[in-house]
Amino acid sequence: MDKKDNYITEEKKNELEKELIDLKGPKRKEILENLEYAKSLGDLSENAEYHQTREEQGKLEERIKRIENILQSAHVVSGGGGDIVGIGSSVVVQKEDSTEQKTYKIVGSEEANMALGKISNRSPFGEALFGKKKNDLVSFKTPNGVVNYKILNVS
């Protein structure tokens, strides 16, 4: 696994595929209906509803294109496992000078959500962990200085 590549989990792939179906189907149809209604209101140059709907349509098409690009270019990985930290791995770490243990899951940048304990393989912390194994020490820079962690477990 190359840490510079784009990765998504099988779970995220399924989520994106469902979103794409919704955007291309019901959402696109809804916007087209709204455009038809806005056009029926008259002069398009001063029609705020028409311009707003066109903007929404642009955002929708942009999101569709983005999802299609992600699904086409990203490598799909299944859960981690193994001894070495990679995409899909769950990593238990302990910060230097602390007894508190935290568990993080290494995911691609599309799935990163620190509140859920999902960190991107491209984040400074994710890059520091990538390729390491149990009992390794890792360091990375933060705005407040260098932070050191010990890897307690990889699964």
pLDDT in tens, 41-99: 877 778 888 999 999 999 999 999 999 999 998 888 876 667 889 888 899 999 998 89
Q: Tell me the C-alpha distance between 52 and 68, whole Å.
A: 24
Higher pLDDT, 69 or 10: 69
Higher pLDDT, 6 or 113: 113
Sign of CA dihedral 83, 84, 85, 88: negative
Amino acid symbol at 140: F
What residue ranges define each of the domains in the chain, with the CATH number in brackets?
7-76 (1.10.287.180), 79-154 (3.10.50.30)
User: pLDDT grade, residue 101 (50/70/90)?
Assistant: very high
